């Protein structure tokens, strides 16, 4: 017997995506009290899973209760004791303590039931709690890839703290007001206060502009920026976070085409109520579509970390997990010459069916830097000539002002969060830097910890990090971290009107050296030291000579020209054992061949240097 009452099965997360975690560990069922009064649910239980509500349990009017496979994964939930939900669909029944049927759902993974909950990420959500929830057409899928456990269906949440968010509207015919009416807005017609500085902006490819009217309708596929205040009505009391925004409607029809600025940074937004996959946007592809005229990297602003999360779709690398862009999420992308129209097709939606095969992982190095509670990461991917389609991800200027740590590689003079480097049979030198800046973009002196993780690095490569300030060389295969002092303050002007890379403060402090071991073995090293190839070589301004002193000794490093004349003495002193490097700034020397002779006790070795002006 099905009893008529107000407790309904309101949401089911039966096949979470692999990007969230283990399937069964993230399953949950949500109950909702659609009635006007509290309901005692003591001794209520389910079929399929094992859980019985204890004595004294009730669900208040309009309240939610989440029963989870693992309660640690969902705040405020209770944990069922055994059983799992069937991914192919099943009947879930809620009984009262007398065995009467309170509610029953026979969900499925095929139409008319929504299909995205079957492994794509969203949960299965009831559109209207007063509707017949045994009918598949009365269900939809959540905006969030992990569902909406414990809060309203067809809503999304802004978590964290006050600050900037990059948003978009994936629903047809909805205005800014439909989305932002519950938040504090200012600085334009229809806002809570029209006379203050705006807190909602669009970007036209060169500069930021305030929206003109809160009743306006943002274009499909375009992003906008909003500062979300903690106080929703400016009454001096913070409502805090999370903020839940409930908004239902129909997503935009594919294909959504957006007019973009050529050879510029463009602010786009996911036009669908389904997570999209950057890998499926066909960025910088084969020449068969308009999206070929865009770089392969997408950038999503993360207010919590105060930095952009980037993802290079050409190599499946970056901080934006899986390249997944959720509904209501705005993002940046860089257009090439000819990039005047960006297309969002239905095939861009993340889906479990038809697995998309990503590019295999390349040898890579991840640097993680830490200083005074701040963290940052930079990624180096290593490949052979012709393997990389993209140079990687630019280190973009943050949207707000705050103290932050910045770490990055250089591609020529361009700071990169992800750098795809090509190697050959020569020494490859890659500049790297890390520093702390304050909220006015002045460098802050202090201690910085550098750690790294090597992945799939072949034995044939040696990886060295050279501190150009101290001369200390670290072998990344022999240690996994160093600590340095950054003591010299610098200040740089920051143009806040446009998007682009972070400003340059100084010459890079570090150089990462990738050395094929065949070059190391070509030198027969004396017993007191091991001499490595100079880098760079040939060179046009300066070169570094590196050696390992195996025992303490007096060491001399002397330069000679082709005629055997002594040009300079770079080193002549007693030194303890260890790794050393010496820089020759050849600013007074002419082009030609030189010889560097190292001597330690009775052991002598010479290498050739080629200076090209």
Q: Tell whether the model's pLDDT for residue 601 goes beyond 90.
A: no
Write the pLDDT tens digit of every residue in 71-113.
999 999 999 999 999 999 999 999 999 999 999 999 999 999 9
Please check whether residue 138 is in contact with residue 20, taking contact to mean a CB–CB distance below 8 angstroms: no
> Concatenated DSSP letters for 513-563?
EEEEHHHHHTS---SSEEEPPPBSSSBSSEEEEEEEESS-EEEEEEEE-TT
Kindly indicate the confidence band of residue 354, based on its pLDDT and cuts at 50, 70 and 90: very low
Instruction: Report the C-alpha dihedral over residues 197, 329, 495, 208, rounded to 10 degrees.
Output: -50
Question: Is the pLDDT score of 382 beyond 60?
Answer: yes
Q: How many contiguous H segments (helices) and E segments (strands) does the chain have? A: 2, 45
More confident residue, 403 or 536: 403
Overall average pLDDT of the 276-294 stretch:
85
What pLDDT does residue 362 have? 84
Query: How many whole angstroms separate alpha carbon 571 and alpha carbon 497?
Result: 49
pLDDT of residue 355: 38
Which pLDDT belongs to residue 527? Answer: 67
Q: Where is average pLDDT lowest: 3-12, 37-46, 129-138, 327-336? A: 3-12
> Which is it for the CA torsion 206, 210, 213, 216, positive or negative?
positive
Domains of the chain: 7-153 (2.60.40.1260), 154-358 (no CATH), 364-517 (no CATH), 524-611 (2.60.40.2550)
**Dist CA 186 CA 190 (whole Å):** 8
Closest listed residue to residue 162, CA positions, set 303, 302, 300: 303
Nearest Cα residue to 476 out of 410, 575, 380, 374? 380
Nearest to 101 by CA among 15, 1, 19, 30: 1
pTM score = 0.82
SS (H, E, C) 148-166: CCCCCCCEEEECCCCEEEE
pLDDT of residue 1: 43
Closest to 323 measured CA to CA, from 355, 304, 290, 350: 350
- Residues 304-314, mean pLDDT to the nearest whole number: 93
Task: Write the DSSP string, 360-417.
Answer: PPPPEEEEEEEETTEEEEEEEEEEETT--S--EEE-BPPSS---EEEEEEEETTEEEE
């Amino acid at each position: 017997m099905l009893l008529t009452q107000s407790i309904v099965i309101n949401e089911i997360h039966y096949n979470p995506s692999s990007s969230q975690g283990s399937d069964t560990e993230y399953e949950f069922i949500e109950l909702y009290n659609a009635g006007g009064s509290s309901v005692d649910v003591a001794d209520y239980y389910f079929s399929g899973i094992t859980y019985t509500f204890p004595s004294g349990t009730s669900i208040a009017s309009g309240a939610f209760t989440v029963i989870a496979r693992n309660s640690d994964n969902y705040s405020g939930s209770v944990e069922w004791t055994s059983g799992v939900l069937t991914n192919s669909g099943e009947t879930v029944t809620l009984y009262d303590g007398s065995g009467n049927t309170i509610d029953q759902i026979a969900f499925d993974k095929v139409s008319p039931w929504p299909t995205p909950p079957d492994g794509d990420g969203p949960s299965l959500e009831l559109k209207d709690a007063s509707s017949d929830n045994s009918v598949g057409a009365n269900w939809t899928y959540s905006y969030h890839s992990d569902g909406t456990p414990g809060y309203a269906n067809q809503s999304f949440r802004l978590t964290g703290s006050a600050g900037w968010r990059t948003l978009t509207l994936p629903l047809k015919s909805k205005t800014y007001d439909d989305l932002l009416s519950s938040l504090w807005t200012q600085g334009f017609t229809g806002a809570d206060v029209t006379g203050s500085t705006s807190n909602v902006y669009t970007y036209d490819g060169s500069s930021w502009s305030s929206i003109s009217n809160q009743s306006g309708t943002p274009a499909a596929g375009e992003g906008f920026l909003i500062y979300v205040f903690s106080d929703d009505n400016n009454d001096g009391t913070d409502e805090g976070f999370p903020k839940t925004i409930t908004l239902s409607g129909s997503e935009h029809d594919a294909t959504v085409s957006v007019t973009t600025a050529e050879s510029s940074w463009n602010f786009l937004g996911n036009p669908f109520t389904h997570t999209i996959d950057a890998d499926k946007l066909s960025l910088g592809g084969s020449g068969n579509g308009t999206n070929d005229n865009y770089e392969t990297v997408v950038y999503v602003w993360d207010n919590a970390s105060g930095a952009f999360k980037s993802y290079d779709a050409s190599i499946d690398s970056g901080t934006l997990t899986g390249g997944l862009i959720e509904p209501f999420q705005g993002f940046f992308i860089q257009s090439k010459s000819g990039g005047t129209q960006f297309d969002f097709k239905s095939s861009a939606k993340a889906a479990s069916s038809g697995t998309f095969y990503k590019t295999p992982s390349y040898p890579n190095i991840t640097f993680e830097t830490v200083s005074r509670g701040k963290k940052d990461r930079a990624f180096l991917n290593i490949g052979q000539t012709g393997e990389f389609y993209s140079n990687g991800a630019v280190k973009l200027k943050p949207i707000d002002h705050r103290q932050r740590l910045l770490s990055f590689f250089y591609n020529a003079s361009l700071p990169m969060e992800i750098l795809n480097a090509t190697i050959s049979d020569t020494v490859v030198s890659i500049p790297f830097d890390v520093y702390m800046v304050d909220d006015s973009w002045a460098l802050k002196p202090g201690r910085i910890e550098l750690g790294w993780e090597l992945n799939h690095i072949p034995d044939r490569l040696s990886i060295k990090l050279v501190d150009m300030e101290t001369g200390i060389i670290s072998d990344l295969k022999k240690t996994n971290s160093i600590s340095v002092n950054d003591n010299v303050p610098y200040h740089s002007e920051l143009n806040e009107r446009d998007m682009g890379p972070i400003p340059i403060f100084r010459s890079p402090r570090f150089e990462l050296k990738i050395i094929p071991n065949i070059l190391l073995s070509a030198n027969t090293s004396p017993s007191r030291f091991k001499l490595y190839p100079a880098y760079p070589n040939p060179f046009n301004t300066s070169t570094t000579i590196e050696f390992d002193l195996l025992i303490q000794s007096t060491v001399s490093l002397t330069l000679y020209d082709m005629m055997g004349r002594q040009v300079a003495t770079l080193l002549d002193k007693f030194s303890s054992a260890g790794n050393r490097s010496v820089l020759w700034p050849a600013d007074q020397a002419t082009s030609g061949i030189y010889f560097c002779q190292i001597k330690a006790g009775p052991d002598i070795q010479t290498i050739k240097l080629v200076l090209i002006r």
